[in-house]
Amino acid sequence: MEKVIEESLQGTSLELAQKENNTKKLFIESYGCQMNFSDSEVVASILLDQGYNTTQNLEEADLVLVNTCSIRDKAEQTVRKRLEKYNKVKRSNPKMKVGVLGCMAERLKSKFLEEEKIVDLVVGPDAYKDIPNLLKEVEEGRDAINVILSKEETYGDVSPVRLMSNGVTAFVSITRGCDNMCTFCVVPFTRGRERSRDPQSILEEITDLYSRGFKEVTLLGQNVDSYLWYGGGLKKDYDKATDMQKATAVDFAQLLENCAIQFPKMRFRFSTSNPQDMHEEVLHVIAKYHNVCKYIHLPVQSGSTRILKEMNRQHTREEYMALVDKIRSIIPNCSISQDIIAGFPTETEQDHQDTLSLIEYVKYDFGFMFSYSERPGTLAARKLEDDIPEDVKQRRLQEIVDLQREIGLERTQRFIGETVEVLIEKTSKKSENEWSGRTSQNTVVVFPKENYKAGDFVLVKITNCTSATLIGEAVNYSEMHS
Ligand code: SAH
Ligand code: F3S
């Protein structure tokens, strides 16, 4: 989620959760989606109260935790390599304990303790509050595991410490789990059924962020448009709710509107939107409020209706195109990004061409593109042979990436000559003297620092661009600036 997999962040260890009297040291690193990074902040917060401060130095850690991803085989292989590395360190520091968190923990369960002898602790995504108990087990010399998935857990009552933070943008999770059962996807198995978090606790977390100077919040979930709070419980059990619960239920459009109204000086983003659950009301909220960003991450996976059906996506190519048309008519300046999988089982050259022509039609601003990786236990793995040869998958993927790059450049170029509102996040990677921030449309902008500061909203006149970055000069603060 924001979405996904920012390559530069993969495997970063989290720093700076400190309490004065804490004596133990936690090294925690995260792989995969933004939800994992966000969960690691919850875990660090829980462990801060157990006497652990975080460290970035693996060698000095008493406890090493790795928050893992199962989405593709490659993600799992990366984690296995990290475990080998911890093993080496553990040889010189035998007191060090190692724990696996997240989706691989959930997928492999006790197998981890058997296969990877160095692992002391295995904790699934809904069991982080049990870590203090599990650590006691470990201290007493037993392996500890909790991979129970929950109907209720949203960690609404844990106030996450912000690790790796730029102090300007933050992620707030609003739903957990997923009920969609896309046939290629392991998430419903590793993260359980979909449930929503109490809006009150969401707004409290944002209030806290605002008071600490944060300016942008991304509401996070596997399927945010499906958000529905009716007093707790699984989304699928909404039918059983009382009339009273139904009358006072809060859906995603309402939640987003509440955020926009209560925090007029903050910007809001959200991720991820599942096409089938995106309703028109949300589009009107995005259009109506200046502080709701004009950007929708709208994974499509394939442009072929036949493949979409095999994937158990709940829409056709035409329905997706109609949704895009609606977005464009209600929010004319909206950016749209995709996730696409190349080489799903049975995909023909014609199906692939359908994907390319859909990219042409939608004109996505960005994309996250993958080749199909069969995941054990998913419906696709059980029912369909992984029959597209690796070289064909890679060639199709490359064609998709190339086309997306070309169209992305066109989309970036549309801003040249315009003046855009930018929230300054950090110093640009390329130059000490330049700021880097993003537009409402999520395009990165770099420009000379002058006297502006991180966290300022500024108007930037765009003069040039590379394929995904706008280059310009600030002209003034924007109205969002307080
Ligand atoms: N709804 C989620 C999707 C998580 S997975 C979200 O919030 O983003 C992110 C992306 O990984 C998916 O959209 C899909 O494009 C890709 N993906 C998932 N399973 C995959 C698999 N088995 N092989 C290749 N790509 C996969
Ligand atoms: Fe996975 Fe589909 Fe849910 S991609 S996370 S099952 S929407």
Q: For the residues of 143-208, what is the DSSP string, one character each?
A: -EEE----SS---TT------S--SSEEEEE-EES-----TT--HHHHH-S-EE--HHHHHHHHHH
Q: Residue 23 C-alpha to ligand 1 middle, in angstroms?
A: 39
pLDDT at 189 over 60: yes
Task: Give the pLDDT score at 350.
Answer: 98
Pick from 394, 413, 432: which residue ends a domain? 413
Residue 423: give its domain's CATH number.
2.40.50.140
**Atom from ligand 1 closest to the CA of residue 224:** 7
What was the pLDDT predicted at 160? 87
Query: Residue 282 sits in a domain of what CATH number?
Result: 3.80.30.20
Q: What pLDDT was estimated at residue 1?
A: 33
Q: Is the CB of 252 under 6 A from ligand 1?
A: no
How many angstroms separate the most distant Cα atoms in the chain? Answer: 66
pLDDT reported for residue 334: 98
Q: Give distance in angstroms: CA of 409 to centre of ligand 1.
A: 24
Task: Assess if residue 68 is contained within a domain.
Answer: yes
- Banded pLDDT at 162 (limits 50, 70, 90): confident
Q: E strand or H helix at 366, and its extent?
A: strand 366-371
The stretch 205-225 carries a mean pLDDT of 96
Q: Considering the domain boundaries, does residue 378 fall inside one?
A: yes
Do 142 and 25 sit in the same domain of this protein?
A: yes
Residue 142 sits in the same domain as residue 237: no
Any idea what the CATH number is for the domain that residue 22 is in?
3.40.50.2300
Distance 68 CA to ligand 1 centre (A): 15
Residue 2 has pLDDT above 70, yes or no: no
| Rounded CA separation 391/343 (Å) | 10
State the total domains in the chain.
3
pLDDT in tens, 110-144: 888 888 788 999 999 999 999 999 999 999 988 89
pLDDT tens digits, 243-286: 989 888 999 999 999 999 999 999 999 999 999 999 999 999 99
Ligand 2 in reach of 253 Cβ (< 6 A) = no
Q: Considering only CA atoms, which residue is closest to atom 1 of ligand 2?
A: 185
Compute the distance from residue 186 Cα to the ligand 1 centre, in Å.
Answer: 9
Range of the domain at 206: 169-413
Can you say whether the dihedral through the CA atoms of 462, 466, 468, 469 is positive or negative?
A: negative
Indicate whether 316 and 446 sit together in one domain: no
Does a structural domain hold residue 154?
Answer: no
What is the percent of the chain where pLDDT is above 70?
Answer: 97
Annotated binding site: 33, 69, 103, 178, 182, 185
At residue 164, the pLDDT reads 73
Rg (C-alpha) for the chain, rounded Å, is 22
What mean pLDDT value characterizes the chain?
94
- Coil/strand/helix, residue 229: strand
Mean pLDDT of 224-240: 91
pLDDT for position 482:
78
If pLDDT is split at 50, 70 and 90, which confidence band does 13 have? low
Backbone φ and ψ for 180, nearest 5 degrees, come out as -80, -30
> Which of the residue ranges 24-38, 72-86, 227-241, 393-407 would you say has the lowest mean pLDDT?
227-241
Q: Are residues 265 and 372 in the same domain?
A: yes
Within this chain, do residues 430 and 312 fall inside the same structural domain, yes or no? Answer: no
Q: Which of 321, 315, 312, 395 is nearest to 352 (CA)?
A: 395
Could you tell me the pLDDT band of residue 451, with boundaries at 50, 70 and 90?
very high
315 is written with which tokens?
Answer: 């829409």
